[in-house]
Amino acid sequence: MAKARRQMEEELKLVDIVIELRDARMPLASANPLLEELARNKKRLIILNKADMADEEENRKWLSFFERALPADSVNDRLTNRVVNEVKDILKDKLEKAKARGIRKKTLRAMVVGIPNVGKSTFINNIVKKKAAKAENRPGVTKNLQWIRINEDVELLDTPGVLWPKFDDQEKARILALLGSINDDILDKEALCAFGINYIKENYPGLLNKRYGIDESKEDLIKEIALNRKWLVSEGEPDIQKTCEMFLKDVRGGSLGRITFERYESAQ
Ligand SMILES: Nc1nc2c(ncn2[C@@H]2O[C@H](COP(=O)(O)OP(=O)(O)OP(=O)(O)O)[C@@H](O)[C@H]2O)c(=O)[nH]1
Ligand SMILES: [Mg+2]
């Protein structure tokens, strides 16, 4: 942990801007408080990644919440120009200063950071338009830092910085676990499932019915899903564990539809 932190501190010194990936389905829970500390004085661009899996209306609201943020579907969008233009705009003072000092071409340096599985490698591959070199492998990073040229103005550190989310906040931990960003072993799977089902029922009425054909007004919806699928452990006894596992897989894979698990209003 201390080593990773030192390494990131060193890397941060080399860049003009941090591109912080967050998960659009949980724009606050997918942040990392350490970054606030380490990159306090750095310019920052937030990418609300996996925006294609999040609620479009919530996406719009969350984008207005952050000073500088872009939505992204790193699998399907063409992100290069949008990201490069935003980076140049954020750093326009720096570019102007360089110009005033007679530097004709100032190359801006950026690094991508984010919690595990938020899409860092996919995002980097997208904006550099190829498979970035050894995105997972970081041997002796300080000696072997590789820069990938995005275009003539911007280059990117080839290895993304991995930051663990902080889950001292119960609510955030539940959302992170629900979306598979932290190990759900630390939480009761059935409780996690119940939380997810209730959230969807409250905020996206109709989605559970559409996916599972259940009556959403019933008391125990996990049980309803199990009975509907005829998943039983014994005569008349629903297989809750199997049902929960399927539900979690569906939520993580976006099979229920576009859902945002943190409401913009609750952050106001
Ligand atoms: N739908 C959707 N899926 C995405 C998006 N970005 C990444 N993914 C998927 O999310 C998963 C994780 O993506 P990675 O790029 O490996 O994430 P990472 O942050 O590099 O993960 P670690 O290296 O494990 O920390 C993969 O299955 C990607 O295909 C996106 O914008 N939309
Ligand atoms: Mg990766």
- Decide if pLDDT at 126 tops 80: yes
Encode pLDDT of 161-220 as tens digits: 888 877 778 889 899 999 998 877 767 899 999 999 999 999 999 999 999 999 999 999
Instruction: Tell me which of 55, 75, 78, 156 to substitute to probe ligand 1's pocket, judged by most ligand atoms within 8 Å of the beta carbon.
Output: 75
134 pLDDT tier (thresholds 50, 70, 90) = low
Domains of the chain (ranges; CATH) run: 2-162 (3.40.50.300), 170-267 (1.10.1580.10)
7 pLDDT tier (thresholds 50, 70, 90) = confident
133 pLDDT tier (thresholds 50, 70, 90) = low
**Confidence (pLDDT) at 261:** 98
**Confidence (pLDDT) at 266:** 86
Higher pLDDT, 15 or 158: 15
**Confidence (pLDDT) at 143:** 58
Ligand 1 atom nearest to CA at 254: 1
Of all ligands present, the nearest one to the C-alpha of 114 is 1
What is the 3-class SS of the chain, one letter each residue?
CHHHHHHHHHHHHCCCEEEEEEECCCCCCCCCHHHHHHCCCCEEEEEEECHHHCCHHHHHHHHHHCCCEEECCCCCCCCHHHHHHHHHHHCHHHHHHHHHCCCCCCCEEEEEEECCCCCHHHHHHHHHCCCCCCCCCCCCCCCCCCEEECCCCEEEECCCEECCCCCCCHHHHHHHHHCCCCCHHHCCHHHHHHHHHHHHHHHCCCHHHHHHCCCCCCCCHHHHHHHHHCCEEECCEECHHHHHHHHHHHHHHCCCCCCCCCCCHHHC
Instruction: Tell me which of 74, 120, 122 to substitute to probe ligand 1's pocket, judged by most ligand atoms within 8 Å of the beta carbon.
Output: 122
Least confident of 29-43, 109-123, 174-188, 220-234: 174-188
- Decide if pLDDT at 139 tops 50: no
Higher pLDDT, 37 or 60: 60
Mean pLDDT over 122-147 rounds to 70
Of all ligands present, the nearest one to the C-alpha of 117 is 1
Ligand 1 atom nearest to CA at 72: 31
- Decide if pLDDT at 3 tops 70: yes
Residue 70 vs residues 34, 47, 134, 151: alpha-carbon distances, Å: 22, 5, 26, 19
Mean pLDDT over 12-34 rounds to 95
**Confidence (pLDDT) at 137:** 46
Of all ligands present, the nearest one to the C-alpha of 252 is 1
The rounded Å distance from CA 50 to ligand 2 centre is 14
Encode pLDDT of 94-122 as tens digits: 989 988 998 878 899 999 999 999 999 99
Which residues have C-beta atoms less than 6 Å from ligand 1?
49-50, 52-53, 72-75, 114, 116-122, 136, 162
The rounded Å distance from CA 50 to ligand 1 centre is 8
